[in-house]
Structure 1
Amino acid sequence: MSVDPEDRFDLPRKFQHGVIRRERCDRSVLEAVSTAGSPDPQDIATWRSIDRLVAQDGPAAAVRFFAELSAEDVSFSRQSWSRGSVYDSTLRDRRWPLMLRLLDLVRSGTDEEYGEAIATAEKLRDEFPVPASRAAMAVLALDRPEWCSADIADYAEDGEGSEDGEGSEDGDDEHHVARLLMLAVTTREQARELGRKIRHWEWVNDDRRAEATFLATIGAGADEFLVGCLEGSRWHALNLLPKLPSELAVNTLIGELGPKDAQAALLEAAKRFPRRVLRLVAEAEPATQVDYVLRLHVAADPALAREELGRLSEAARRRVEALLGPSGVAGSGGGGGGGTDGAGGGSVPVAEEGDLPRVLVVPPWADREAGKPIALKNLPTPVPFFRWPARETAGPTAIPEPAPSPDEAGNQNKIVLTMAEWLNSEYEPYSEAADVFFRRYPGQAVRQLLVCALGTAGPERRVAEAAVRFVARQGWADVVALAGESSPEAAVATRALLERRGLDTFPKSMPAVPLWADPASLPGIVLAGRRAVLPASAVRVVVQMLTISSRREVAPYGGIEIVKEACDARSLAEFAWGLFENWAGAGFPTKKLGWAFDTLLWFGDGETARRLAPLVRAWPGEGGSARAAGGLDVLIAAGGEAGLREVYDISQRSTFAALRAEASRRVAKAASARGLSADQLEDQLVLDLGAGRDGTLEVDFGARRFTVGFDEYLAPFVTDGAGKRRASLPKPTAKDDAVLAAAAQRRFTELKKDAKTFAVRQAARLEQAMVGGRRWSEGEFQAVFVQHPLLRLLGRRLVWGEFDGEGALRAAFRIAEDGTFADVADERFVLNSREAGSCGTIGVVHPLHLGADLPRWAEICHDYEIIQPFPQIGRPFFTLTPAERTATRLDRFCDADLATDRFLALHRSPGWGGAALWDSGSTVATGRRLPHHRILIVRITPGYREGRLADTPRQTITDIWLSPTDSHGRRGARTEALPLGGIEPLTASEIIADLAAAVGT
Structure 2
Amino acid sequence: MNRDETALVIPDSWRERLYPRRGGVPVSEIKIKDLAPARVRRRVQTIRPFLETVLDHEGSERELVRRARDHLSGEANPLGAAVLRKIDSKATQPCLPLEKWVDAWVVEHGLAFAACAFAELGGITVDLDLRRKDFPHLVRHSGWHGVVGASAGRRLRALLAAANERDYAEAVGRLADHRRTPLQRIVVSFLVPTRQDWVAECCAEPPRRAQYSETHDATMLWCALGSAEQLARLGGWARLARGEHSLELLATVAEGVGPAIAPVLAGAFDEGLSEGTGQVLLEVLGALPGDEAFRLMATRLDKAYVLPAMRAMARRFPVRALRVLPSVAASGSKSAVLAKELLTRHLLDEPELTAAVVPRLPDVARTVIEAVQRARVADASADALPRLLVEPPWTQKRKAHKPLVMPGDPAGVERALRWTPGEREEWARADGRGYVASADRSELERDLAAFQKRPSNQYVAFKLFNHGPEDLVRPLLADWRPRSWWFAVEWMKALVARYELEALPHALEAARTQPASQGSVLLPFLDAEVAALMAGWLARLKSARTIAIAWFDRHGVDAARLLFPAALGKLSKERRQAEGALRLIAAKAGAERIVAAAAAAAANGEAAAGAIEALLATDPLDILPARPPKAADWLEPGLMPQVLLRGGDLALPVAATEHVITTLAMSKPGEAYAGVEVVRELCDPESLAEFAWVVFLQWRAHGAPAKDGWALTQLGLLGDDETVRRLTPVIRAWPGEGGHKKAVDGLEVLAAIGTDVALTHRTASRRR
Q: CA deviation at 1:249?
A: 3.4
Q: What is the CA deviation profile of residues 516-539 of structure 1, one whole-angstrom value per residue up to 9, with x for unaligned ones?
A: 95234xx5133xxx6973433255
Q: What is the CA deviation profile of residues 155-214 of structure 1, one whole-angstrom value per residue up to 9, with x for unaligned ones?
A: 3267883xxxxx423x668x83342244456xxxx25445434555444555644x4355
TM-score, length of structure 2 as denominator length: 0.50
- Aligned counterpart, 1:540: 657
Q: CA deviation at 1:277?
A: 1.5
2:641 to 510, 514, 519: 519
Which SS does the other structure have where 1:545 is aligned? helix
Whether 1:24 and 2:141 are equivalent positions in the alignment is no
Whether 1:647 and 2:647 are equivalent positions in the alignment is no
2:354 to 298, 304, 308: 308
Measure the CA separation in 2 of the matches of 1:362 and 1:230.
45
- Aligned counterpart, 1:168: 210
Whether 1:563 and 2:672 are equivalent positions in the alignment is no
Report if aligned partners of 1:70, 1:133 keep a CA contact under 8 Å in 2. Answer: yes
Q: CA deviation at 1:631?
A: 5.4
Which SS does the other structure have where 2:650 is aligned? coil
- Aligned counterpart, 1:579: 691
Report if aligned partners of 1:278, 1:305 keep a CA contact under 8 Å in 2. Answer: no
Q: CA deviation at 1:100?
A: 0.9
- Aligned counterpart, 1:324: 370
| Residue identity opposite 2:644 in structure 1 | G
- Aligned counterpart, 2:63: none
Q: CA deviation at 1:647?
A: 2.8
Which SS does the other structure have where 2:149 is aligned? helix
Whether 1:299 and 2:344 are equivalent positions in the alignment is yes
| Residue identity opposite 2:759 in structure 1 | V
Q: What does 1:366-405 align with in structure 2 at a 5 Å threshold? A: 370-371=396-397, 374=400
Closer, same or farther: CA 74–3 of 1 in aligned 2, 3 Å: farther
- Aligned counterpart, 1:130: 181
- Aligned counterpart, 2:232: 196
Q: CA deviation at 1:70?
A: 1.5
Measure the CA separation in 1 of the matches of 2:392 and 2:235.
51
Measure the CA separation in 1 of the matches of 2:407 and 2:96.
66
Closer, same or farther: CA 276–196 of 1 in aligned 2, 3 Å: same
Q: Any unmatched runs of 5+ in structure 1?
A: 35-40, 76-87, 162-166, 339-349, 384-389, 392-415, 433-438, 452-462, 662-1001
Which SS does the other structure have where 1:48 is aligned? coil
Report if aligned partners of 2:566, 2:575 keep a CA contact under 8 Å in 1. Answer: no
Measure the CA separation in 2 of the matches of 1:473 and 1:17.
64
Measure the CA separation in 1 of the matches of 2:186 and 2:121.
13
Closer, same or farther: CA 9–58 of 1 in aligned 2, 3 Å: closer
Whether 1:225 and 2:342 are equivalent positions in the alignment is no
Which SS does the other structure have where 2:624 is aligned? coil
Q: What is the CA deviation profile of residues 609-665 of structure 1, one whole-angstrom value per residue up to 9, with x for unaligned ones?
A: 4x456667766776788687555434433336x46xx636864xx4xxx6238xxxx
- Aligned counterpart, 1:69: 121
Report if aligned partners of 1:550, 1:595 keep a CA contact under 8 Å in 2. Answer: yes
Q: CA deviation at 1:95?
A: 5.7
- Aligned counterpart, 1:244: 287
Q: What does 1:324-473 align with in structure 2 at a 5 Å threshold? A: 324=370, 330-332=373-375, 334=376, 337-338=377-378, 351-362=380-391, 370-371=396-397, 374=400, 450=571
Q: CA deviation at 1:279?
A: 1.8
| Residue identity opposite 1:127 in structure 2 | H
Measure the CA separation in 2 of the matches of 1:375 and 1:581.
38
Q: CA deviation at 1:233?
A: 4.7
- Aligned counterpart, 1:278: 322
Measure the CA separation in 2 of the matches of 1:501 and 1:42.
71
| Residue identity opposite 1:151 in structure 2 | W
Q: What is the CA deviation profile of residues 511-566 of structure 1, one whole-angstrom value per residue up to 9, with x for unaligned ones?
A: 3544895234xx5133xxx6973433255325533673565x5645664344235x
| Residue identity opposite 1:320 in structure 2 | R
- Aligned counterpart, 2:220: 180
Closer, same or farther: CA 102–125 of 1 in aligned 2, 3 Å: same
Larger relative helix fraction: 2
Report if aligned partners of 2:326, 2:343 keep a CA contact under 8 Å in 1. Answer: no
Q: What is the CA deviation profile of residues 303-324 of structure 1, one whole-angstrom value per residue up to 9, with x for unaligned ones?
A: 5467435535677357535653
Measure the CA separation in 2 of the matches of 1:55 and 1:5.
40
Q: Any unmatched runs of 5+ in structure 2?
A: 21-26, 40-88, 128-135, 273-277, 409-478, 481-531, 548-559, 587-593
| Residue identity opposite 1:536 in structure 2 | P
Q: What does 1:866-905 align with in structure 2 at a 5 Å threshold? A: none
Closer, same or farther: CA 98–298 of 1 in aligned 2, 3 Å: closer
RCO comparison, higher one (Cα < 8 Å, 6+): 2
Which SS does the other structure have where 2:203 is aligned? coil
Measure the CA separation in 2 of the matches of 1:62 and 1:381.
87
Which SS does the other structure have where 2:344 is aligned? helix
Report if aligned partners of 1:196, 1:225 keep a CA contact under 8 Å in 2. Answer: no
- Aligned counterpart, 2:718: 603
Q: CA deviation at 1:353?
A: 0.8
- Aligned counterpart, 2:201: 154
Q: What does 1:447-846 align with in structure 2 at a 5 Å threshold? A: 450=571, 500-502=622-624, 505-508=627-630, 510-514=632-636, 517-520=639-642, 524-526=644-646, 533-538=650-655, 540-542=657-659, 544-545=661-662, 548=665, 555-556=671-672, 559-564=675-680, 567-568=682-683, 571=684, 573-579=685-691, 589=701, 591=703, 597-604=712-719, 608-609=720-721, 611=722, 630=745, 632-639=747-754, 642=756, 647=759, 651=763, 654=764, 659-660=766-767
| Residue identity opposite 2:197 in structure 1 | A
Q: CA deviation at 1:52?
A: 6.3
Closer, same or farther: CA 636–17 of 1 in aligned 2, 3 Å: farther
Q: CA deviation at 1:8?
A: 8.1
Which SS does the other structure have where 1:505 is aligned? coil
Measure the CA separation in 2 of the matches of 1:615 and 1:133.
54
Measure the CA separation in 1 of the matches of 2:173 and 2:575.
73
Measure the CA separation in 2 of the matches of 1:613 and 1:468.
33
Closer, same or farther: CA 269–63 of 1 in aligned 2, 3 Å: closer
Report if aligned partners of 1:270, 1:277 keep a CA contact under 8 Å in 2. Answer: yes
Report if aligned partners of 2:8, 2:288 keep a CA contact under 8 Å in 1. Answer: yes
Report if aligned partners of 1:50, 1:62 keep a CA contact under 8 Å in 2. Answer: no
Measure the CA separation in 2 of the matches of 1:5 and 1:547.
42
Measure the CA separation in 2 of the matches of 1:3 and 1:20.
28
Q: Number of aligned pairs?
A: 527
Measure the CA separation in 1 of the matches of 2:767 and 2:380.
46
1:50 to 84, 92, 98: 98
Measure the CA separation in 1 of the matches of 2:393 and 2:700.
29
Measure the CA separation in 1 of the matches of 2:733 and 2:224.
43
Closer, same or farther: CA 622–8 of 1 in aligned 2, 3 Å: same
Aligned sequence identity (%): 15
Q: CA deviation at 1:603?
A: 2.5
Q: CA deviation at 1:296?
A: 3.4
Which SS does the other structure have where 1:129 is aligned? coil
Measure the CA separation in 1 of the matches of 2:581 and 2:695.
34
Q: CA deviation at 1:425?
A: 11
Q: CA deviation at 1:238?
A: 6.7
| Residue identity opposite 1:545 in structure 2 | T
Q: What does 1:847-858 align with in structure 2 at a 5 Å threshold? A: none
